[in-house]
Chain A
Amino acid sequence: MPIDKIFKDEASEEKGERARMSSFVGAMAISDLVKTTLGPKGMDKILQSTGRGHAVTVTNDGATILKSLHIDNPAAKVLIDISKVQDDEVGDGTTSVVVLAGELLREAEKLVASKIHPMTIISGYRMAAECGRDALLKRVIDNKENPEKFRSDLIKIAMTTLCSKILSQDKEHFAEMAVDAIFRLKGSTNLEAIQIIKKPGGSLKDSFLDEGFILDKKIGIGQPKRIENAKILVANTAMDTDKVKIYGARVRVDSMTKVAEIEGAEKEKMKDKVNKILAHGINCFVNRQLIYNFPEELFADAGVLAIEHADFEGIERLGLVTGGEIASTFDNPESVKLGHCKLIEEIMIGEDKLIHFSGVAMGQACSIVLRGASHHVLDEAERSLHDALCVLSQTVNDSRVLLGGGWPEMVMAKEVDELARKTPGKKSHAIEAFSRALVAIPTTIADNAGLDSAELVAQLRAEHHSEGCNSGIDVISGSVGDMEERGIYEAFKVKQAVLLSATEAAEMILRVDDIITCAPRRREDRM
């Protein structure tokens, strides 16, 4: 009796070896895809969107590449997901996590082929991951107590992160900038307070960090262009006709005179509102919504600088910097907190006029102005800087740092190897495989730089045999060297997240022995 089909049409099932094979292949394909972007000499990818305009993105950021891929393979989707989470959680290491997971699966495939049960591999991987993390924990450097040392650590971390990106040319410059910006946050991880303004033109070197706050807006006509000791009211209110909000209200009149009267009343109302606002004793008014010509004129008459249509984030940041509260009603001027700053002026960056608030009360927020040759460069620079800022803000909270350049991987690999020797049973094969997967990362970094990876990694391994070795691969000079001397540092939190999520993802994919694909949902034809 043939078994009737159980599934719907187009739904399919892959079982056992086939299922495993398909997930291995999918996962490895993804990891191979991003592999070449790893490390300081990693290459970039061009992404062309299928949407209108075929917008082009040039990037080196793993998460960005993977996010834009259309993937059908379910195992590949798992990898994309971990990369995305890595991006959200620590901001950097998005490529490493995928490459490591891919390597773990590649090793697992070999083990499965030699008849080791996936569950055994998983338990081996778990032990190895645990052991690797302990090895790192033992060797972390924590300079929290020493602010000066800590700052130099941060700069080194930022440089390490940036050196694989487009900003590597001016990494010192950008690293200083990123660290300064992070220190202004005073320990909070709220990166929204750091505003990144992109202005094409100039070169990347011309980018700068501004102590104050820059708002990408123009000052109203006829209003002062420069205010000293400004009192700022940050508001979110309608400054157009200010409609009556009660539902169902409408104007119905029977003669022209009445229209005029009501118009007058409206104007009066607006004027009232403006007067109320002026009663706060301000000389600068920033509104999230539009300001119509009439109130603008009134403000101009009163010599108050009015800025309209500052976007939502801009308003929030401005509130944060100047210490004012975001107001929507203006009846009791005495209790509204106003923002203060020493100087508001219009400045020019490239061809655009921007408003610059300097000498602000609360120094939390700041602006980074990026300059560059094209939009693609600026976009990529922003992504890179964002990565660096993320890592730094996480490091400020968890100040443990590690050496970079494949050093952590080698340290882990050594410990894991030792564990493998001590562990009896089939698990030890899996543990050994884990250490091989770890070594694959420095190998890839060296390969991408066009170096002799076999030679370098072997040398590195030999040097790591001695206790307390600080050796890693210095890709720039193409040799093995002391990472501490060359100032290549990485954040512990990033490495830990890479290790754990890669293991978790590999484990998840390994456990699968059956893939059931449902029939794709039919789209309604929109013809």
Chain B
Amino acid sequence: MALAFDEFGRPFIILREQDQKTRLRGIDAQKANIAAGKAVARILRSSLGPKGMDKMLQGPDGDVTITNDGATILEQMDVDNQIAKLMVELSRSQDYEIGDGTTGVVVMAGALLEQAERQLDRGIHPIRIAEGYEMASRVAVEHLERIAQKFEFDVNNFEPLVQTCMTTLSSKIVNRCKRSLAEIAVKAVLAVADLERKDVNLDLIKVEGKVGGKLEDTELIYGILVDKDMSHPQMPKQIEDAHIAILTCPFEPPKPKTKHKVDIDTVEKFETLRKQEQQYFDEMVQKCKDVGATLVICQWGFDDEANHLLMHRNLPAVRWVGGVELELIAIATGGRIVPRFQELTPEKLGKAGLVREKSFGTTKERMLYIEHCANSRAVTVFIRGGNKMMIEETKRSIHDALCVARNLIRNKSIVYGGGAAEIACSLAVEAAADKYPGVEQYAIRAFAEALDSVPMALAENSGLQLIETLSAVKSQQIKENIPFYGIDCNDVGTNDMREQNVFETLIGKQQQILLATQVVKMILKIDDVISPSEY
């Protein structure tokens, strides 16, 4: 470790407790960082593609997650290394922005780092590599734009959307019924989509799961599903043409926030107070009844007496409904959330065609279906499956599929999957490399090679001969000048991704390349790692 000396020759300490800190500088720092980044990418590499394997994660509390979703794996991995954390962030931002391709982006970044290492060994300065990557990524993104295809769909013809969602789902454990799940996802997105503004609010799609049954029983409900039952066991289990009062105030005596005391010192006061209390409950229920509500959904609990009064006046009620669900119910039924009984008016009631309670299995679990809502803009995907982990994984998969469908509604461009887009980009970048004078040329070539790693990982996971397959596909693309040839992961017998109907969204792919490049640039620019010593 280099020490600085002052003019008298004494060692000059710049960092506090310098000798206790481990410090990596220059090329060593970059190498260490690259190694860490690569290690993360290696973990995910085998999860890529339709034949990708799953990871089993055991959390700090012993809970088990089995998943194939890159973002989830990294999030739960309990990572300590700083660079590895950057990779985790990378995958997460892809998840937030696009929702799909979270594994691909990490594999891509890993490949870029690997190539960068080779260039570093050649003595190319990291900044020049970073710049070369930057240029190359621009070329790749532009090329993607060029090879992208618009594809047409509308509410009545959503087959293309289903195909794209199926591509996403085919890499998950749920691929057994990818067709029906993809349809559910697309229908859900179309139900809530604002096609005019090309926007989809995914918050309106609720994904609810319940263990039991089988995956095929998964269904889309045009309405809301609440994991609650009626507050009184003898209330009707089915209400048609319900007028719903959505309340956020409890059916309980008022509890003013300011401190107060009511002193009882005479018998009269005791009597009046008692009367008032009774009257209070009566009024609350009467108020609901007066505005014409036939169902009360409340965020809080009920007092026993209020509960009976509700039952008695034939006003079914649901208590302890969560805030988020309450909002969804309000959106779906077109009602308003009412914070005080006094403000209850007929206009604020939500309307639903059918509310019913349904019980599941042998345990006493019941759920409330609110269907045929006034405003069918909120939907619920109700997942069934053999076990808890299956449900969780299905939820994640459905989320991915929903995101893909949303992206397509925002931007109708698609590229071909199965590594076809990456191979096409790689060829374009390779060709563009020669146009750049200077050291960057090498970096650009390295980028092209890194792009090959995604199809390579696909081929490897599918048990194909990687180099053979890749070179065959590449030459086919050049020969016929068609960017549709990819890796035939499912052993269908054709390389043509159009025939196999393997699509990915353009923005997803572009985002992958841009994000991966950005992170790699950031990692390359680090030349000094100072970490506090272990103590």
* Alpha-carbon separation in the docked complex, A512 to B363 (Å): 31
B254 contact set on A, CB distance < 8 A: 246-247
- Per CB-CB distance, the 3 closest pairs between chain A and chain B, nearest first, are A328-B308, A513-B53, A501-B386
Closest chain B residue, CB of each to CB of A512: B56
Question: A4 to B233, Cβ gap below 8 A?
Answer: no
Whether A23 contacts B362 in the complex (CB less than 8 A), given A244-B264, A513-B46, comes out as: no
Question: B56 to A19, Cβ gap below 8 A?
Answer: yes
* Alpha-carbon separation in the docked complex, A118 to B463 (Å): 11
* Alpha-carbon separation in the docked complex, A518 to B59 (Å): 5
Question: A7 to B64, Cβ gap below 8 A?
Answer: no
The contact sample of 23 A-B pairs, CB cut-off 8 A, is A2-B35, A3-B38, A8-B80, A119-B53, A191-B362, A236-B308, A245-B253, A247-B256, A251-B263, A252-B265, A261-B266, A320-B233, A327-B312, A328-B304, A329-B312, A500-B386, A501-B386, A514-B55, A515-B57, A516-B77, A516-B78, A519-B60, A519-B78
Contact partner of A516 (CB less than 8 A), chosen from B46, B57, B390, is B57
Whether A518 contacts B56 in the complex (CB less than 8 A), given A7-B79, A250-B262, comes out as: no
Question: B64 to A77, Cβ gap below 8 A?
Answer: yes
Question: B304 to A88, Cβ gap below 8 A?
Answer: no
A7 contact set on B, CB distance < 8 A: 77-81
Question: B212 to A85, Cβ gap below 8 A?
Answer: yes
B506 to chain A, nearest CB (A): 29
Q: Spot the interface stretch: B7-15, B122-130, B268-276.
A: B268-276
Question: A85 to B211, Cβ gap below 8 A?
Answer: yes
List B residues at the A interface (Cβ < 8 Å).
28, 31-32, 35-36, 38-40, 43, 46, 51, 53-62, 64, 66, 68, 73, 76-81, 84, 173, 176, 211-215, 232-234, 252-256, 259-267, 270-271, 273-274, 276-278, 280-281, 303-305, 307-309, 311-312, 359-365, 385-390, 463
Contact partner of B56 (CB less than 8 A), chosen from A75, A329, A332, is A75
Within 8 A of B (CB), among A1-48: 1-9, 11, 13, 19, 23
* Alpha-carbon separation in the docked complex, A267 to B129 (Å): 90
* Alpha-carbon separation in the docked complex, A7 to B309 (Å): 58
* Alpha-carbon separation in the docked complex, A105 to B425 (Å): 42
* Alpha-carbon separation in the docked complex, A251 to B360 (Å): 49
B303 contact set on A, CB distance < 8 A: 245
Question: A91 to B362, Cβ gap below 8 A?
Answer: yes
Question: B60 to A126, Cβ gap below 8 A?
Answer: no
Within 8 A of B (CB), among A72-119: 72, 74-75, 77-78, 81-82, 85, 87-91, 117-119
Question: A236 to B234, Cβ gap below 8 A?
Answer: no
Closest chain A residue, CB of each to CB of B313: A335
Question: B387 to A244, Cβ gap below 8 A?
Answer: no
> Is A132's CB within 8 Å of the partner chain B?
no
Question: A6 to B308, Cβ gap below 8 A?
Answer: no
Contact partner of A254 (CB less than 8 A), chosen from B265, B277, B305, is B265
Contact partner of B39 (CB less than 8 A), chosen from A6, A75, A247, A325, is A6
Question: B173 to A244, Cβ gap below 8 A?
Answer: no
A85 contact set on B, CB distance < 8 A: 211-212, 386-388
Question: B64 to A6, Cβ gap below 8 A?
Answer: no
B212 contact set on A, CB distance < 8 A: 85, 88-89
Within 8 A of B (CB), among A311-331: 316, 319-320, 325-329, 331
Within 8 A of B (CB), among A224-275: 236-238, 244-254, 258, 261-262, 264-266, 269
Question: A507 to B173, Cβ gap below 8 A?
Answer: yes
Question: B361 to A90, Cβ gap below 8 A?
Answer: yes
Question: B60 to A521, Cβ gap below 8 A?
Answer: yes
Whether A74 contacts B64 in the complex (CB less than 8 A), given A325-B312, A328-B304, A515-B55, comes out as: yes
Could you mark each residue 118-154 of chain A with 1 if its beta carbon is under 8 Å from any beta carbon of chain B, else 0?
A: 1100000010000000000000000000000000000
Known: A19-B56, A247-B254. 4 other contacts (CB 8 A): A11-B80, A74-B58, A252-B263, A504-B214
Question: B78 to A249, Cβ gap below 8 A?
Answer: no
A261 contact set on B, CB distance < 8 A: 266-267
A161 to chain B, nearest CB (A): 13
List A residues at the B interface (Cβ < 8 Å).
1-9, 11, 13, 19, 23, 72, 74-75, 77-78, 81-82, 85, 87-91, 117-119, 126, 189-192, 236-238, 244-254, 258, 261-262, 264-266, 269, 316, 319-320, 325-329, 331-332, 335-336, 390, 393-394, 497, 500-501, 504-505, 507-508, 511-521
A18 to chain B, nearest CB (A): 12
B34 to chain A, nearest CB (A): 9
Question: A253 to B265, Cβ gap below 8 A?
Answer: yes
Contact partner of B387 (CB less than 8 A), chosen from A251, A505, A520, is A505
Question: A246 to B43, Cβ gap below 8 A?
Answer: no
Question: B273 to A244, Cβ gap below 8 A?
Answer: yes
Whether A512 contacts B54 in the complex (CB less than 8 A), given A6-B79, A245-B303, A326-B232, comes out as: yes
Question: B60 to A520, Cβ gap below 8 A?
Answer: yes
Question: B311 to A394, Cβ gap below 8 A?
Answer: no
Question: B39 to A3, Cβ gap below 8 A?
Answer: yes
Question: A328 to B81, Cβ gap below 8 A?
Answer: no
Question: A6 to B265, Cβ gap below 8 A?
Answer: no
Contact partner of A1 (CB less than 8 A), chosen from B31, B84, B264, B359, is B31
A515 contact set on B, CB distance < 8 A: 55-58
* Alpha-carbon separation in the docked complex, A369 to B267 (Å): 50
Question: A335 to B54, Cβ gap below 8 A?
Answer: no
A518 contact set on B, CB distance < 8 A: 57-60, 76-78
Question: B58 to A504, Cβ gap below 8 A?
Answer: no
Whether A512 contacts B55 in the complex (CB less than 8 A), given A78-B66, A520-B60, comes out as: yes
A11 contact set on B, CB distance < 8 A: 77-78, 80
* Alpha-carbon separation in the docked complex, A19 to B307 (Å): 54
A61 to chain B, nearest CB (A): 13
Question: A511 to B173, Cβ gap below 8 A?
Answer: yes
B61 contact set on A, CB distance < 8 A: 520-521
Contact partner of A514 (CB less than 8 A), chosen from B46, B309, B361, is B46
Question: B36 to A4, Cβ gap below 8 A?
Answer: yes
Closest chain B residue, CB of each to CB of A518: B78
B359 contact set on A, CB distance < 8 A: 189-190
Whether A126 contacts B233 in the complex (CB less than 8 A), given A6-B39, A514-B43, A520-B62, comes out as: no
Closest chain B residue, CB of each to CB of A319: B234
* Alpha-carbon separation in the docked complex, A35 to B527 (Å): 59
Question: B387 to A501, Cβ gap below 8 A?
Answer: yes
B81 contact set on A, CB distance < 8 A: 4-7
B66 contact set on A, CB distance < 8 A: 74, 78, 508, 511-512
Contact partner of B264 (CB less than 8 A), chosen from A251, A335, A336, is A251
A262 contact set on B, CB distance < 8 A: 264, 266-267, 270
Contact partner of B36 (CB less than 8 A), chosen from A3, A87, A264, A327, is A3
Contact partner of A512 (CB less than 8 A), chosen from B53, B214, B265, B281, is B53
Closest chain A residue, CB of each to CB of B256: A247
Closest chain B residue, CB of each to CB of A23: B56
B84 contact set on A, CB distance < 8 A: 6
